[in-house]
Amino acid sequence: MDLSHDHSARLGDILKWRRDVRHFSTQPVAADVLARIEASVDFAPSVGNSRPWRIVRVMDEDKRRAVCDSFERENLAASHGYEDAVRQNYLALKLAGLREAPVHYAFFCDPDPAEGCGLGRRTMPETLAYSTVMAIHTLWLTARAHNVGVGWVSILDPQIMNDVLAVPREWTFIAYLCVGHPLECSDAPELHRRGWQANCATVWIDR
Ligand SMILES: Cc1cc2nc3c(=O)[nH]c(=O)nc-3n(C[C@H](O)[C@H](O)[C@H](O)COP(=O)(O)O)c2cc1C
């Protein structure tokens, strides 16, 4: 890497255009691009270098359907938590691109990996989950650098995810990612653009 070069403009572009994507083309992602996106996870930081993320490539149609069914159920259940007027707005939102996205990843976290020998997580075992989120974010930015979009789906029953994807029950389900070519790009969050939640200012506290 040329350490004398200023990379901030390109990184700024990637951060600005990253955005969560729910509207995907069904066009497949080229294998070499996908390989580079997947390889990026290896550059993520992790507590004690434990690399606790466990990633399932969800290719099987029946499994994808089961995930989709869980989303539909949980999304409907979530809508019932709102008053009528807000509920209509909620139901009008598109909160997952599960049917269209060509690539699906489920991220789990091993809550007790041998790797890292416990370093850094004695008082905060949740740092393993944070590490897994770092891997997701690394993949997310790399995908954007290749003009590929990522959508995070959390409106799911986590236990069903372990069961459907046949991974150990002890693993913590962290995220389900839809990946593919976006149908639209924006530098503003969709929830902001659709009037659900405007971007609020970050709270900084000086002490
Ligand atoms: C932990 C987490 C869970 C999320 N779950 C969902 C989800 O289930 N459905 C959805 O449409 N977006 C989901 N998102 C995306 C957020 O809605 C999105 O990041 C936020 O609105 C800001 O938009 P931006 O990512 O485009 O900046 C999730 C994001 C995070 C970080």
pLDDT at position 94: 98
Encoding tokens for residue 107?
A: 């991220």
The domains found in the chain, sorted by start residue, are 19-193 (3.40.109.10)
Ligand 1 site, residue 96, Cβ cutoff 6 A? yes
pLDDT at position 142: 98
Closest CA relative to residue 147, chosen from 191, 181, 121: 181
Beta bridge partners of 139: none
Ligand 1 site, residue 144, Cβ cutoff 6 A? no
Dist. CA 106 → ligand 1 center (Å): 15
What's the CA gap between 76 and 87, in Å, rounded?
10
pLDDT at position 147: 97
Q: Which residues contact 169 (CB under 8 A, 6 or more apart)?
A: 159, 162
Residues 116 and 47 sit within 8 Å (Cβ to Cβ): yes
pLDDT at position 1: 75
pLDDT in tens, 23-69: 999 999 999 999 999 999 999 999 999 999 999 999 999 999 999 99
Ligand 1 site, residue 103, Cβ cutoff 6 A? no
| Number of helical H runs and strand E runs in the chain | 7, 4
Closest CA relative to residue 118, chosen from 44, 174, 45, 46: 46
149-153 β-sheet, strand order:
53-57, 103-109, 172-180, 149-153
Best mutation site among 15, 18, 20, 179 for ligand 1 pocket (most ligand atoms within 8 Å of CB):
20
Dist. CA 172 → ligand 1 center (Å): 19
Closest CA relative to residue 119, chosen from 53, 171, 46, 172: 46
Q: Which residues of the chain have pLDDT under 50?
A: none
Ligand 1 site, residue 95, Cβ cutoff 6 A? yes
Ligand 1 atom 14 nearest Cα: 152
Ligand 1 site, residue 19, Cβ cutoff 6 A? yes
Q: Which residues contact 20 (CB under 8 A, 6 or more apart)?
A: 150, 151, 152, 189, 190
pLDDT at position 4: 87
Tell if the pTM clears 0.85, that is, is over it.
yes
Q: Of all atoms in ligand 1, which is nearest to the CA of residue 19?
A: 26
Dist. CA 4 → ligand 1 center (Å): 35
pLDDT at position 189: 97
Closest CA relative to residue 136, chosen from 114, 115, 152: 152
Ligand 1 site, residue 37, Cβ cutoff 6 A? no
Closest CA relative to residue 58, chosen from 5, 103, 23, 98: 103
Beta bridge partners of 57: 105
